[in-house]
Structure 1
Amino acid sequence: MTLGQYLTSKSFFKRLALALVIVIAIVFAVLQYLSFATDHGNEITVPDLRKLTEEQVGSKLDELNLEYVLLDTVDYNADFPKYSVVKQDPLPGAKVKDGRKIYIKVNSNGFGDVTVPDLIEKTLRQAEPTLKALGFEIGKKTYKPYLGKDMVLEMSSGGKKLKAGDKLKKSSVIDLVLGDGKVAFEEEVDSTQNENGTQTETENAE
């Protein structure tokens, strides 16, 4: 039998079909193994753990056969309860395998202390961003006669006068007393008036 006759014979096609069946079976078996090895199709949706306490997180993840790892405590965030989860990784809605660890960060129990900077005789333009960068809030601004306009003369919080180095809770409100910049003008006017008055008196005396 020639090669051409063999390639067109029933025997060749039977063997070719058998080979294809074997290849398909092997591919199917490999895919099944990979699916089993990666737990494909049995993924778990990560729940939203934000605002939950550590105890609540543990209970919730136990039900899903997941674990958690507490990474750190973050600066106090007033939008979240004390000691509750602020951040998590993976994020809510992510698909993970059975037994996966969820990393969390929890809220602290309150604002920490911040040192009041030395801003006396600094301009409002300098003082305001400095205070905000430290986490303070700017409260009432009052003015009193002083040569430098918008220059910080006093700082206070809750009615208590502050000095550089004092400690305040982050997010505290700081009131400012500022210069109105009118002293020089008033002194100049008074000086002119005095000069005019003296001249008048001298002329009358003559």
Structure 2
Amino acid sequence: MNLLQYLKSKEFLRTIILVIAISLLLLFALVKWLSYHTKHDEMITVPNLEKLSLAESYKILTESKLNYVVIDSASFNPKFPPKSVIEQNPLPGDFVKENRKIYLTLNPSNYRKVTIPNVLDQTKRQVVIQLKSLGFRIGKERYIKDLGRDVVRGLEINNKNIKPGDRLPKNTVIDLVLGDGLINKDTIY
């Protein structure tokens, strides 16, 4: 039997139909197996964990059959309780599969401490810029008799002197002790 006669024969037609049927059957079985194996339609809604402690978050996530990874945060947020969740990924309301990792960013227990630089004998403008750039807030200004006008002669917190090199939490309010330039307040120029 030559090739042309074989291609026209019923045996060839049956073989082609059998190959197509087996291929379709295998493809159908593969799709069903993948759907079962990947749990295609089984989704879990990510719970909102903001402002919850790590223990509370753990309880909720284990009940939802989800895992978590803690990412430490260096920036303290006073709007959230210490050591609570301030951020999560995936976001609340997103759909994920079972055993998916939820990445949690925790709020530190307080602002990190920053070293006070030596700002004595510098102008008020320089000191304010330098302290604000380090994350401190500037409070009251108190003037003392001194030759240098608006020259920083000391730093205080609640009327207590602080020295260069002291470590204070970020966002601390620092009062400035400034020189008055020996200006007599009663003299009119």
Length-normalised TM-score, structure 1: 0.70
Q: Which runs of 5+ in 1 are unaligned?
A: 187-206
Taking structure 1 as reference, are residues 149 and 36 closer, same or farther at Cα in structure 2, changes over 3 Å only? farther
Instruction: Look up the match of 2:36.
Output: 36
CA distance in 2, matches of 1:92, 1:148: 57
Instruction: Look up the match of 1:154.
Output: 154
CA distance in 2, matches of 1:180, 1:8: 112
SS in 2 for 1:129: helix
Give matches, 1:32-181, under 5 Å.
32-72=32-72, 74-141=74-141, 148=148, 150-179=150-179
Instruction: Look up the match of 2:187.
Output: none
| Matched residue type, 2:23 | V
CA distance in 2, matches of 1:40, 1:181: 77
- Of 58-67 and 71-80, more deviation after overlay is shown by 71-80
CA distance in 1, matches of 2:181, 2:9: 109
SS in 1 for 2:168: strand
SS in 2 for 1:151: strand
Instruction: Look up the match of 1:21.
Output: 21
CA distance in 2, matches of 1:127, 1:156: 13
Taking structure 1 as reference, are residues 170 and 22 closer, same or farther at Cα in structure 2, changes over 3 Å only? same
Taking structure 1 as reference, are residues 3 and 115 closer, same or farther at Cα in structure 2, changes over 3 Å only? closer
Moved over 4 A (4+): 142-150, 179-183
CA distance in 2, matches of 1:43, 1:70: 23
1:57 Cα deviation from its structure 2 partner: 0.8
CA distance in 2, matches of 1:80, 1:134: 22
Contact 1:119 1:127 in 2 (8 A): yes
Identity of aligned residues (%): 43
CA distance in 2, matches of 1:49, 1:176: 41
SS in 2 for 1:28: helix
CA distance in 2, matches of 1:36, 1:104: 30
1:27 Cα deviation from its structure 2 partner: 1.8
Higher helix proportion (structure 1 or 2) = 1
CA distance in 2, matches of 1:20, 1:125: 84
Contact 1:74 1:105 in 2 (8 A): no
1:68 Cα deviation from its structure 2 partner: 2.6
Q: Which has the larger radius of gyration?
A: 1
1:54 Cα deviation from its structure 2 partner: 1.7
| Matched residue type, 2:130 | T
Give RMSD over aligned pairs: 3.2
CA distance in 2, matches of 1:73, 1:67: 19
1:143 Cα deviation from its structure 2 partner: 5.5
Length-normalised TM-score, structure 2: 0.75
Contact 2:74 2:112 in 1 (8 A): no
